[in-house]
C-alpha cells in the first residue's frame, strides 16, 4: 500500500466563489434539506382533475379516501364487507390484496357500484422484489451501484404492477447505526450521503419515468423520521435527538427521495424527542410539506396514529385522529380511527376542512398520476408471464454477486479450484431455500422451486470429478442442539480438502419485530466452527444474515470469510461463483461490523471527543478491554486483485463551473485479475462552530480495471459538501482547515491531504 500525504493551502478568495456563490463569512447557503419553503408548483392535469372531483365529494367520501385497510388482519372483516364499504366510499386503499384476479375483483366491484367511481389503490410491502426476490436491501446496498439498484427496483415494480399492486411501502431510508435493530436489514446502513444516493435510485426504479407508464408503481419512503435510532435497538422504541442530528443524519435520505419525485411518505411508529412521529407537525407540516414542498401524501405506518394514545400523546382515539390530521398524516393505515371519528371531528370544527381537502387532493392526484381512473384493472392474462422471468433472474444474479463482501482471505485461500478433489459443505443454511429469501420476501415463496441454495450452487459450479459432501450440523435456532450434530459436521470436514461452513441467522431473526440482544452467531454454531477448525482442514466461512454480526473469534482464526447476506432466488449461484472465481467480489460494507456488542452503537462518522481514544493512554475515550476500532469498518471489502492509489491532486475550479473543489487520483490494478474498486472520498472539518465527525463520506465511484490498467478518477465537490447545520439550525459553509481522503474504506488513508479554505 502506498500512502500519499499532502498538505495544501488554497489561498483563494474563498472556495465559495468557485461555486458561483458570492458569500461572505458565515453567510448561509441553501442545501438539502433547506429551510426555505418551495414555491407552489404549477397545477398539473392530475391536480386539475383531482380538484374537479373533490368538489363533487361528500365529507364521508373525502374521509374514505383517507382510510386504508388490510384484507388480512386479526378482526372480523370479510371480503364482502370490504367491498361494500369501498363501494360506499368509506375505503380508498387496501394493502395485502395481491394478484390480478383479486385486485380486479375488488376494483370492478367499486368501479361499478360506487357513486363517483374512484378507483382503489392497492399497496404491498414490495421491499426487495415481488415474485423474483433480490438481495435484502442492506445486502444490495453493498453494491454501491445506484444504477443497478434502479434496475432491480424497476423489475420488482413490473412484477407487482402486473399483479395489480400499484404502490409499494418502500424504500426504507432510515439511517441506522445499531445492529440490534432487526429492521437494519431493510435500509441502506449508517451513512446519510450513501443512503440518499441509493434512496433516490430506488424511487426512480419503482416509479419509472412516469407513474402512468405500464410497470411503474408508486414508491413510499419510510419511516419518517428517526426510526433507525430506536433506543437499545428495540423495535417500536422511542428516539431522542437534537435538531442538528435530525437534519444532518436522518432527514437527508428522505429529502433525496422527495427530490427524486417520491409520491408518498410513511410516518413512523417512534416517539421523536417527545413528540411521536405520526403526530409531529414540525417534521411533517413544517419540514416535509413546508420547507421541501412535498406534493405527495403521507400514510401512517400500521395503526401508528392510533398508537398516539399508547405513547401518551393523545387521551383517546378521537384526539389521536385530531392530532394525526393536524400534523399532516393524510391516510390512516389499518386502525380504522379516521373511518370512525374524522367526519364527526370535522363537523365539530376540531379539524379544519381545508386540511381534509388538502389530504384528499394529494391522494387523488397520485391515483390520477398512476392512470387508475383510465386503466383501473390489471391484465390477468399477462400476469403469470411477467413473474420470475429469465431476465429478472439474471438481474437478480448480477445484483447478488455484487452484494457479496469478502471480509477475509488469508494466503489467498479463495478462489477455490473447481477441480478440487473433495469439498465439505456444512450448515443447515447451506441447503435452505426459505432462508435465502430473507425477511420481507413478498410473494417469493410462490416461486420457491426457483431458489438456488448454496449447496446446489456449489454442486453446479465444481467439476464433475469433485466430491461434494454435506452435513447439516447445528441450526442457528437450536441453542441446545445435540453434540452428535457437531460430531457429524467435524467428521464430514475431515474427509475434505476444504470445509465451506455456512453459518448465520435464520431469515426471521431480522426484519420487523426481530431485535436481538446478542449479535453473535446464535445457537451452537461457533462451537461447531471451532471444532471444525481444529481438524486442520482449511475453512471458508460463508455468512448468511441481515445485520452486522460480532464474530471476533472467527475473524481471528478462520482464513477466509465471505459475507453473503440473504441474496434471494439466486443466492447459491452467486456465492458459488464468488467462491470458485467466476466472479471477483466487489461488495463494500454499508454498515460497521463491531468486535463486540459492547461497542454498539459504532459507526465510522463518530466525533473526536475532548480526549480522543489512544491505546497507550488510559485517560482518553477508550475501552480497557477492547480496541475502539471495529472488526470491519464501513466501506470495507476485499478483492481477488490489488489496487494501488497514487497521485492525489486537489485544485479549485474556475468560477464559471460552479463545481467547487476538483479531486483527482490514479487507481491502478496491480494484481492478476480484473476487478472493481469502489473509490471513496471522505472529508473532515478540523474546527467548526458545531463539532464535526472525524470523517464524512462525500462521494464515491465504481471503477472496473483490467490487470495492469490505470485510470484517473475525478470528483467535483461543490461548496455544500463542506457545510453543516449550526446551532440555529441553519446550513452554513465557512472557511477553515479541512482534511480529505481518497480511500478504500472509512479506516483507510491511502491518499490524504490537508487544505484550507480562506477568505
The residue ranges of every structural domain in the chain are 4-30+641-757, 45-383, 404-599
Q: At what angle do helices 571-579 and 454-461 cross, to 10 degrees?
A: 50
Give the CA distances from residue 386 to residues 164, 183, 383, in Å, rounded to whole numbers and listed in that order: 12, 29, 5
pLDDT digits (tens, 9 = 90+) for 647-702: 999 987 554 444 579 999 999 999 999 999 999 999 999 999 999 999 999 999 99
684 Cβ partners below 8 Å, 6+ apart? Answer: 692, 693, 694, 695, 696, 738, 739, 740
Distances (CA, A) of 24 to 17, 686, 734, 736: 10, 20, 9, 13
pLDDT of 36 over the 80 cut: no
- Over range 250-264, report the average pLDDT: 98
Q: Is the pLDDT of residue 21 over 50?
A: no
Residues 221, 255: Cα–Cα separation, whole Å: 10
Q: Which CATH fold topology does 404-599 show? A: Rossmann fold (3.40.50)
Residue 217 CA to residue 124 CA, distance in Å, equals 11
Q: Residue 458, SS3?
A: helix
Q: What is the pLDDT of residue 652?
A: 78
Q: How far apart are CA 146 and CA 188, in angstroms?
A: 12
Q: What is the pTM of this model?
A: 0.94
Q: Looking at the predicted structure, is the pLDDT value of residue 31 above 60?
A: no
What is the tens place of the pLDDT at every residue in 472-504?
Answer: 999 999 889 999 999 999 999 999 999 999 999
Percent of the chain with pLDDT over 70: 93
Q: Which of 47, 174, 178, 301 is catalytic?
A: 301
Contact 206/155 with Cβ under 8 angstroms? no
Tens-digit pLDDT profile for residues 85-135: 999 999 999 999 999 999 999 999 999 999 999 999 999 999 999 999 999
Pairing status of strand 405-409 against strand 560-563: antiparallel
Q: Which of 11, 108, 12, 155 is nearest to 655 (CA)?
A: 12
Question: In the prediction, which pLDDT does 366 show?
Answer: 98
307-322 per-position pLDDT tens digit: 999 999 999 999 999 9
pLDDT score recorded for residue 234: 97
By percentage, how much of the chain surpasses pLDDT 90?
Answer: 89
| pLDDT reported for residue 168 | 98
User: Do 45-383 and 404-599 come out as alike in CATH topology?
Assistant: no
Q: Give the pLDDT confidence of 440-477 residue by residue, as tens digits.
A: 999 999 999 999 999 999 999 999 999 999 999 999 99
Distance (Å) of CA 34 to CA 30, 268, 336? 6, 22, 35
pLDDT of residue 261: 98
Residues contacting 707, CB < 8 A, separation 6+: 641, 669, 671, 672, 673, 674
Interatomic CA distance for residues 413 and 717, integer angstroms? 40
Q: How many CB atoms lie within 10 A of CB 54?
A: 17
- Check whether 51 has a pLDDT greater than 70: yes
Quick one: CATH architecture of 4-30+641-757? Answer: Sandwich (2.60)
* Catalytic status, residue 374: no
Concatenated DSSP letters of 694-747: S-EEEEEEEEEE-TT-EEEEEEEE-GGGG-EE-TTS-EE---EEEEEEEESSTT
CATH classification (class only), 45-383: alpha beta
Q: What is the pLDDT of residue 17?
A: 29
In the numeric block, the cell 385530531 is attached to 322
Amino acid at each position: 500500500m502506498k500512502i500519499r500525504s499532502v498538505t495544501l493551502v488554497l489561498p483563494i478568495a474563498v472556495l465559495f466563489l468557485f461555486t458561483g456563490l458570492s458569500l461572505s463569512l458565515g453567510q448561509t447557503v441553501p442545501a438539502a434539506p433547506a429551510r426555505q419553503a418551495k414555491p407552489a408548483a404549477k397545477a398539473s392535469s392530475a391536480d386539475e382533475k383531482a380538484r374537479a372531483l373533490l368538489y363533487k365529494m361528500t365529507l364521508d367520501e373525502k374521509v374514505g379516501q383517507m382510510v386504508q385497510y388490510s384484507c388480512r388482519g386479526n378482526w372480523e372483516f370479510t371480503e364482502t364487507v370490504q367491498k361494500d364499504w369501498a363501494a360506499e366510499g368509506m375505503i380508498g386503499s387496501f394493502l395485502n390484496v395481491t394478484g390480478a384476479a383479486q385486485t380486479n375483483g375488488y376494483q370492478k366491484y367499486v368501479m361499478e357500484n360506487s357513486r363517483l367511481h374512484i378507483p382503489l389503490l392497492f399497496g404491498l410491502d414490495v421491499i426487495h422484489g415481488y415474485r423474483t426476490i433480490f438481495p435484502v436491501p442492506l445486502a444490495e446496498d453493498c453494491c454501491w451501484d445506484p444504477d443497478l439498484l434502479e434496475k432491480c427496483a424497476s423489475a420488482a415494480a413490473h412484477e407487482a404492477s402486473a399483479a395489480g399492486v400499484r404502490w409499494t411501502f418502500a424504500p426504507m431510508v432510515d439511517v441506522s447505526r445499531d445492529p440490534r435493530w432487526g429492521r437494519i436489514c431493510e435500509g441502506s446502513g449508517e451513512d446519510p450521503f450513501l443512503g440518499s444516493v441509493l434512496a433516490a435510485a430506488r424511487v426512480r426504479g419503482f416509479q419509472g419515468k412516469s407513474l402512468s407508464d405500464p410497470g411503474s408503481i408508486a414508491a413510499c419512503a419510510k419511516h419518517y423520521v428517526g426510526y433507525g435510532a430506536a433506543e437499545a435497538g428495540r423495535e417500536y422504541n422511542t428516539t431522542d435527538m437534537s435538531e442538528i442530528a435530525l437534519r444532518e443524519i436522518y432527514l437527508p435520505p428522505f429529502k433525496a427521495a422527495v427530490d427524486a419525485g417520491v409520491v408518498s411518505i410513511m410516518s413512523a411508529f417512534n416517539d421523536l424527542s417527545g413528540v411521536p412521529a405520526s403526530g409531529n407537525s414540525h417534521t411533517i407540516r413544517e419540514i416535509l410539506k413546508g420547507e421541501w414542498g412535498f406534493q405527495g401524501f403521507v400514510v401512517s405506518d400500521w395503526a401508528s396514529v392510533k398508537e398516539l394514545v399508547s405513547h401518551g400523546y393523545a387521551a383517546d382515539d378521537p384526539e389521536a385522529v385530531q392530532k394525526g390530521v393536524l400534523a399532516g398524516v393524510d391516510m390512516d393505515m389499518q386502525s380504522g380511527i379516521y373511518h370512525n371519528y374524522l367526519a364527526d371531528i370535522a363537523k365539530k370544527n376540531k379539524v379544519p376542512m381545508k386540511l381534509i381537502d388538502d389530504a384528499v387532493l394529494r391522494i387523488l392526484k397520485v391515483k390520477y398520476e398512476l392512470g387508475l381512473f383510465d386503466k383501473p384493472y390489471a391484465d390477468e392474462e399477462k400476469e403469470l408471464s411477467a413473474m420470475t422471468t429469465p431476465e429478472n433472474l439474471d438481474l437478480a444474479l448480477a445484483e447478488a454477486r455484487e452484494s457479496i463482501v469478502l471480509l477475509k482471505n488469508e494466503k489467498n485461500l479463495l478462489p477455490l479450484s473447481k477441480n478440487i478433489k473433495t469439498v465439505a459443505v456444512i450448515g443447515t443454511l447451506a441447503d435452505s431455500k426459505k432462508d435465502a429469501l430473507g425477511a420481507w420476501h413478498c410473494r417469493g415463496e410462490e416461486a420457491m422451486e426457483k431458489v438456488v441454495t448454496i449447496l446446489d450452487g456449489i454442486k453446479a459450479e465444481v467439476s464433475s470429478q469433485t466430491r461434494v459432501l454435506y452435513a447439516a450440523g447445528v441450526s442457528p435456532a437450536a441453542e441446545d442442539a445435540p453434540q452428535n450434530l457437531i460430531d457429524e459436521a467435524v467428521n464430514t470436514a475431515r474427509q475434505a480438502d476444504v470445509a465451506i461452513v455456512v453459518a448465520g441467522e435464520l431469515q426471521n431473526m431480522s426484519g420487523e419485530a426481530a431485535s436481538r440482544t446478542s449479535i453473535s452467531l446464535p445457537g451452537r454454531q461457533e462451537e461447531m466452527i471451532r471444532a471444525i477448525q481444529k481438524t486442520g482442514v482449511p475453512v471458508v466461512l460463508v455468512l448468511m444474515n441481515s445485520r452486522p454480526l460480532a464474530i471476533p473469534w472467527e475473524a481471528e482464526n478462520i482464513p477466509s470469510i465471505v459475507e453473503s447476506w440473504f441474496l434471494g432466488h439466486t443466492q447459491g449461484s452467486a456465492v458459488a461463483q464468488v467462491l470458485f472465481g467466476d466472479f471477483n467480489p466487489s461488495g463494500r460494507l454499508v454498515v460497521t461490523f463491531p468486535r463486540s456488542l459492547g461497542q454498539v452503537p459504532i459507526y465510522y462518522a463518530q466525533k473526536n471527543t475532548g480526549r480522543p481514544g489512544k491505546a497507550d493512554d488510559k485517560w482518553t475515550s477508550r475501552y480497557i478491554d477492547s480496541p475502539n476500532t471495529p472488526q470491519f469498518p464501513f466501506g470495507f471489502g476485499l478483492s481477488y486483485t490489488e489496487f494501488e492509489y497514487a497521485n492525489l491532486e486537489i485544485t479549485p475550479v474556475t468560477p464559471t463551473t460552479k463545481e467547487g473543489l476538483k479531486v483527482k487520483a490514479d487507481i491502478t490494478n496491480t494484481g492478476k485479475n480484473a476487478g472493481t474498486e469502489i473509490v471513496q472520498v471522505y472529508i473532515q472539518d478540523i474546527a467548526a462552530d458545531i463539532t464535526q465527525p472525524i470523517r464524512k463520506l462525500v462521494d464515491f465511484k465504481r471503477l472496473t480495471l483490467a490487470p495492469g490498467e490505470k485510470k484517473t478518477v475525478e470528483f467535483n465537490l461543490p461548496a455544500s459538501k463542506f457545510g453543516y447545520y449550526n446551532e440555529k439550525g441553519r446550513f452554513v459553509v465557512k472557511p477553515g482547515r479541512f482534511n480529505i481522503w481518497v480511500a478504500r474504506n472509512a479506516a483507510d488513508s491511502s491518499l490524504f491531504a490537508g487544505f484550507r479554505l480562506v477568505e
